[in-house]
Amino acid sequence: MTPASAAPGAEYPAEVEYRLVGRTGLRVSLLGLGCAGFGGVGSEAALFGSGEDEEAAFAIMDRAFELGINHFDTANSYGGGRSEEMVGRWLGSRSVRQEIVLATKVATRLGPGVNEGGLSRRHILQQVEASLRRLGTDWLDVYITHQVDPETAPEETLRALDDVVRSGKVRYVGAANIEGWRLMKQLWTSDRLGLARVELVQNEYNLLRRTAETQVLPVAEDQTLAIVPYSPLAGGWLTGKYRRGEPAPSGSRMTMRAGPYRRLQNERTFDALDALAAEAAERGVSMGALALAWVTSHPCVVSALVGPRRPDQFDAAVESLSLTLTADDRQRLVERMEAAPADLPSPQR
């Protein structure tokens, strides 16, 4: 996959690169804004109402837009719907809907009812309408299956997604948290039935979790799919904020929702982070910028999702845009950090 620049005649901040989404003509910024912290902490029901309030969320979205970030990612389950509502009110108040590539998701269980989750036709058609209402828009640029649903036949899910594309409510389809073999089966099914196919894949990918390299990235390269990694900084671990023998900083993910990252608390991880810090110091850059540049320098990656909690936390992301890593640079950094765990559980957002 070859990165693509902005369309001819378009005026965008010079430091931001825009890449094509798979085989489509859609262009997204190399950095995307993850909105999982608006009104909650991801899909964790116990934390609905925490995270960033609307004032903080608006300031973060304003800063992202100023930087030229045009890719905003949320989900119907984030904050129990609060994230979509905040994004929708921001879009309406700023009158920038046409300039934003808006992605949201479906599948995560929303309540105790037997049909309040999954990828059935019923749930998809119900939830796309609910997301459109919360977001205050007539269409979604990308509609993503948030997780796999082994109890629903892929033909049912893909036909429902094809219908919302044909209706004009959705422009493109994506998949998240999916294995390579299942992704390939979905692509084959879409091709066989003549349905809209997955064009974008959103899995975790960072220097502390490289599982995507085993199956998903090879499938993406072979099938010209766009990779949109979430958690490119491993929940802040790759910025150096967590230190050996010291408590986690107040307000950090490890103090709010440590579960998904608890297995990183070991000597192997800290050894790997020491190696990353040494490499960053030699280059004269921050750990976070180098770790993020490592992700975005993969040829299949079109947009890495960052989730700052304050506007000033975009600094490492912006710094990463000035770094260019070759394939040899990427491999050398991996080798320096080879003590890092290679396959840790992915956090469910």
Q: Mind telling me the catalytic residues? A: 78
Please, which residues have CB within 8 angstroms of residue 199's CB and are 6 or more apart in sequence? Answer: 21, 22, 23, 24, 142, 172, 173, 174, 225, 226
Q: What is the C-alpha to C-alpha distance for residues 323 and 138, in angstroms, rounded to an integer?
A: 38
Q: Which residues of 153-190 are buried (b: 16+ CB within 10 A; e: fewer)?
A: ebeebbbbbbbbbeeebbbbbbbbbbbbebbbebbebb
Instruction: For 293, list phi and psi in degrees, rounded to 5.
Output: -65, -35
Q: What is the C-alpha to C-alpha distance for residues 32 and 55, in angstroms, rounded to an integer?
A: 20
Closest CA to 43 of 89, 90, 111: 111
Alpha-helix residue ranges (DSSP H) falling in 54-196: 54-66, 82-94, 121-135, 154-166, 180-193
Q: What is the C-alpha to C-alpha distance for residues 164 and 167, in angstroms, rounded to an integer?
A: 5
Q: What is the C-alpha to C-alpha distance for residues 285 and 21, in angstroms, rounded to an integer?
A: 29
Closest CA to 69 of 100, 115, 23: 100
**Bridge pairing between strands 18-20 and 27-29:** antiparallel
Say if residues 233 and 306 touch (Cβ distance below 8 Å).
Answer: yes
Tokens of 35: 């909105």
Q: What is the C-alpha to C-alpha distance for residues 125 and 130, in angstroms, rounded to an integer?
A: 9
| Tally: H helices and E strands in the chain | 11, 10
Q: What is the C-alpha to C-alpha distance for residues 194 and 192, in angstroms, rounded to an integer?
A: 6
